[in-house]
Structure 1
Amino acid sequence: MVVKKFVSRVLFYVVIALLLVFFMLPMLWIVLAPFDASPSLTIKLPDFSTGNFSELWHNPYALRSLLNALIISLGTMALVLVFGALASYALSRVRVPGRDALLYALLLLSSIVSGTAAMVPIFLLMTNVHLIDSQLGVVLVMTGGLLPAAIFILKDFMDATPRSYEESAKVFGASPLQILRHVVIPIARPGLATIAVWALVNAWGNFLVPFILLRSADKYPAAVVMYTFYTEGGQPKLGLISAFSLMYSIPVVIAYLVVSRRYGFRFHGGIKS
């Protein structure tokens, strides 16, 4: 029995080690390849060079695309948080006939009708409202795609807020918006932080929407500009792709670490005294 347990534990650790190696190899490539003068698809110690970053620095669209991606992602995140918090709070507190069915229908439809299937009507809509080649149009489209799931998730946080807190605030003359700001949101902050990172990551990595709605190269986000790092024959420029991928991943990693350190992605919170 002891030998059997020992063998099982060894096999368990071997499997875990293999999984770690499997997931770590792409990370090692992203870290090492940007500093290699002649990178390949294999992982090796780099022949140290900063030429890839220098070429990106002189690229007229590379660094600008990171700023564009930041503008689009932050704009989408802000709208998702504001409208998601307001809508979920309203649905949590107001008894609307068919409320739960509406929430599940929105979530189901947003999952079934993917962005690819909806791009033709979305493109026609953006054309009619003159938002083609506009970053605002991209932000609005991505916000609409993310809102159903955000509302569905945030409603649970709003439901968890004790109504006695709100009633106490009403006694002191607080308005509904003040109650939402000073009572409900402090409790729901871990959920809002999680939704913020989720919306940021989805908008940051979205390729299809900006690729179809934007026409000017100087408005492209990083996900679209990375598509241009290929030769005329279709061969990838591994040096540029690896260096740009490293720069591209840093903002999302920072956002994750900040929120994880502050909240740990724990779905609970409390009101500060």
Structure 2
Amino acid sequence: MTGFVVRRIGFYTFVAVVLAFFALPLLWLVTAPFTDTPTYEVKVPDFTPANFQAIVEHPYALGSLVNSIILAVGTAALVVLFASLAAYALSRVRLPGRDALLYALLLLSSIITGTAAMVPLFQLAVTVGLIDSQLGLILILTGGLLPAAIFMLKDFMDSTPKSYEESARVFGASPLQIVGHIVVPLVRPGLATIAVWALANVWGNFLMPYLLLSDVEKQPAAVIMYTLYTEGGQPNLRLLSTFGLLYSIPVVLMYLFVSKKYGFRFHGGIKR
């Protein structure tokens, strides 16, 4: 009995230490923006608005957050649209080598990452005139995310009953009407999953915006955050901590919205 109690105490102590290890950076992120002279230590904040005032006065900080939202939402919308249409077609149409094509797309998208393909992508963007264009960056990011999105969404499409579609087809519904009114309500959790996944990938993407957007007014927050360091690599903790907190808020709100809306329960919209 004594040994059991000792093991339980040791286990809970270990868990507490691990939780504290991961909680300290988050605690610093919450308290440092409200501290007049933040350091690397976690301390009681002064609850001063001076750091937020400095971010507001920064010429590019708030605008970069808007740019990040534009890039993330635009890319997620295109990924969801194209991936849903492609996944539905691949799920319903029997094509020779369909499964091999899907696995090849997934494999190539995993091997040829943005870092490995940045030179040809940069040359392509120069050739078609998409340098320093947010629309061009959205298209390139969409192309990079589509293979994996199609692969993931196809499983949701395969699980939808075909009888609903056949009934709609009997009443004269077109393929697009079937997708919009029958398939989409059934796979809404899957679409939400793809949208959140695309948003998270674009929100934290640094390399492609850094390469393709030379105009600082068009650059997202992930790139502007890099400018909050001095030439010697020393961070401006006042600006960096405050900007980091603002940078994290949209992701947290997105998580809370999706968790409340779907609860991460991957089932369709029609009871079977």
| TM-score above 0.5, yes or no | yes
Give 1:85 deviation, angstroms: 0.3
The count of aligned residue pairs is 272
Structure 2 residue 192 is matched with structure 1 residue 196: no
Name 1:25's counterpart in structure 2.
Answer: 24
CA contact (8 A) 1:76 1:142 kept: yes
- What is the one-letter code of the residue matched to 2:15? I
Give 1:21 deviation, angstroms: 1.2
Give 1:12 deviation, angstroms: 2.9
**Residues 98-109 of structure 1: pairs in structure 2 closer than 5 A:** 98-109=97-108
5+ residue gaps, structure 1: none
- What is the one-letter code of the residue matched to 1:255? M
In 2: Cα distance, 1:83 partner to 1:150 partner: 9
Give 1:165 deviation, angstroms: 1.0
Inter-CA distance 174–7: structure 2 relative to 1 (3 Å threshold): farther
Give 1:4 deviation, angstroms: 4.0
Name 1:254's counterpart in structure 2.
Answer: 253
In 2: Cα distance, 1:181 partner to 1:8 partner: 56
In 2: Cα distance, 1:32 partner to 1:190 partner: 35
Name 1:156's counterpart in structure 2.
Answer: 155
CA contact (8 A) 1:135 1:219 kept: yes
In 2: Cα distance, 1:147 partner to 1:24 partner: 34
Give 1:9 deviation, angstroms: 3.0
Name 1:133's counterpart in structure 2.
Answer: 132
Comparing 175-184 and 151-160, the one that deviates more: 175-184
In 2: Cα distance, 1:228 partner to 1:165 partner: 54
Comparing 259-268 and 6-15, the one that deviates more: 6-15
Give 1:5 deviation, angstroms: 3.6
CA contact (8 A) 1:72 1:139 kept: yes
Comparing 3-12 and 150-159, the one that deviates more: 3-12
Deviations 1:104-135, CA, capped at 9 Å, x for gaps? 11111111111111000000000000000000
CA contact (8 A) 1:73 1:204 kept: yes
SS in 2 for 1:117: coil
For normalisation by structure 1, the TM-score amounts to 0.96
In 1: Cα distance, 2:53 partner to 2:271 partner: 48
**Residues 75-224 of structure 1: pairs in structure 2 closer than 5 A:** 75-224=74-223
SS in 2 for 1:115: coil
Name 1:37's counterpart in structure 2.
Answer: 36
Deviations 1:165-217, CA, capped at 9 Å, x for gaps? 11111112111111111111111111111111111111111000000001101
CA contact (8 A) 1:183 1:271 kept: no
Comparing 73-82 and 10-19, the one that deviates more: 10-19
Deviations 1:231-254, CA, capped at 9 Å, x for gaps? 233210011000000000111111
- What is the one-letter code of the residue matched to 2:58? N
SS in 1 for 2:43: coil
CA contact (8 A) 1:76 1:139 kept: yes
Structure 2 residue 14 is matched with structure 1 residue 15: yes
Deviations 1:122-178, CA, capped at 9 Å, x for gaps? 000000000000001111111111111110110000000011111111112111111
CA contact (8 A) 1:37 1:52 kept: yes
Identity of aligned residues (%): 65
Name 1:6's counterpart in structure 2.
Answer: 5
For normalisation by structure 2, the TM-score amounts to 0.96
Deviations 1:40-86, CA, capped at 9 Å, x for gaps? 11111123321111111111110000111110100000000000100
In 1: Cα distance, 2:8 partner to 2:194 partner: 37
SS in 2 for 1:65: helix
In 2: Cα distance, 1:10 partner to 1:182 partner: 55
SS in 1 for 2:267: coil
Structure 2 residue 61 is matched with structure 1 residue 47: no
Inter-CA distance 98–4: structure 2 relative to 1 (3 Å threshold): farther
Name 1:227's counterpart in structure 2.
Answer: 226
